Amino acid sequence: MTRIARLFSFSDTLDLARAVGSRLELDVSPIEVHYFPDGESLVRVECTDPGQAIVFRSLHHPNEKLIEVLFAADSLRRQGATEVGLVAPYLGYMRQDRVFRPGEPISQRVVGQLLGSAFDHVLTIEAHLHRIRELAEVFPCPAESISAATPIAQWLRTQPKTDVVIGPDAESEPWIRAIAQEAEIEWTVATKVRDSDRDVRIDLPPLPAGTNRVWIVDDIASSGATLETLVRALKAFGVQEIGAVIVHALLERDMPSRLAEAGLDRLVSTDGINDPTNVISLAPLLAESIGKRLRTGEDS
Ligand code: R5P
């Protein structure tokens, strides 16, 4: 017997959840949040068919959102959901994966434990994993981070001929290589040193002579310092057309204009975080993975 499955989404991921739902022929119900004057959140979600439930929400600006997804999981279980999963296209707090300076927590583990205690499985895209290889190392439930390399490569293939795809730092190398090889474009990575939240230094690698059109590819743009510094370096080298593809657009409001001023011609992102720069849909990737999870969970 196939169990009933239903998707639930907070308002910020509703469009993406609907795109996934239509691929899987699953209904999507909204999750509402009321904010009390003192800042507390009241979450409301109706679940009329108990079965497998999947909650969508990207966890950027995560503090409020984290508690709200836990409330949603509690409500769904109280209404009879037999399994509750979380799809967080962007999963916050993954960058603090060790104690960098004495006195700090390992935020990644704390958040992993918290979400893993409330959800039966967690799915995300391009979690920022440096010192651990698998999300399963920090979550007490099945947890998976899937790569956005293929949708990015497919999109790059639709663009006018690009000379080079460039990643901002050495850590990005395997990912940039995978994207560039799939898109059949030359690739390279820069060297980056971060001095503070908003200050980075970047050294360009040697670029092929006659490099005129370049796409920067990065998993996150947050302060925008990485992109801005790299764009300025490429301009100084003489690159004429520069675009940037970002998976998670954690963009401050003035960032697109700052980047344009630095010389960036085009900024595009995936739709894991709702933003005007969204161009590349993660729906096919998420639908495939969620579909597999639901099939594995079917009663035979
Ligand atoms: C770093 O490892 C990431 O790939 C990004 O380059 C970084 O998180 C971007 O941050 P920001 O926009 O603040 O420079």
pTM above 0.85, yes or no: yes
Q: Is 225 a pocket residue for ligand 1 (Cβ < 6 Å)? A: yes
Which pLDDT value is given to residue 297? 60
Q: Would the CB of 91 count as within 6 Å of ligand 1?
A: no
Closest CA to ligand 1's atom 3: 220
C-beta of 272 in contact with ligand 1 (< 6 A): no
Q: How far apart are CA 93 and CA 80, in angstroms?
A: 30
Residue of 152, 151, 135, 132 whose CA lies nearest to 143: 135
**Predicted confidence band at 4 (pLDDT cuts at 50, 70, 90)?**
confident
Closest CA to ligand 1's atom 1: 220
Q: Is 149-280 in CATH node 3.40.50.2020?
A: yes
pLDDT at 1: 41
Q: What is the 3-state secondary structure (H, E, C) of the chain?
A: CCCCEEEEECHHHHHHHHHHHHHHCCCEEECEEEECCCCCEEEECCCCCCCEEEEECCECCHHHHHHHHHHHHHHHHHCCCCEEEEEECCECCCCCCCCCCCCCCCHHHHHHHHHHHHCCEEEEECCCCCCCCCHHHCCCCCEEEECCHHHHHHHHHCCCCCCEEEECCHHHHHHHHHHHHHHCCEEEECEEEEEECCEEEEECCCCCCCCCEEEEEEEEECCCHHHHHHHHHHHHHCCCEEEEEEEEECCCCCHHHHHHHHCCCEEEEECCCCCCCEEECCHHHHHHHHHHHHHHCCCC
Whether 286 is in the pocket of ligand 1, judged by its Cβ within 6 Å, is: no
Share of the chain above pLDDT 70, in %: 98
Looking at residue 296, its pLDDT comes to: 77
Lowest mean pLDDT among 144-153, 250-259, 261-270, 277-286: 250-259
Neighbours of 202 (CB within 10 A): 21
Q: Which fold has domain 5-147+282-299?
A: Rossmann fold (3.40.50)
Task: For the chain, give every residue range classified as CATH 3.40.50.2020.
Answer: 5-147+282-299, 149-280
Nearest-CA residue for atom 13 of ligand 1: 223
Per-residue pLDDT reduced to its tens digit, 208-266: 888 999 999 999 999 999 999 999 999 999 999 999 999 999 988 889 999 999 999 99
Nearest to 57 by CA among 49, 68, 46: 68
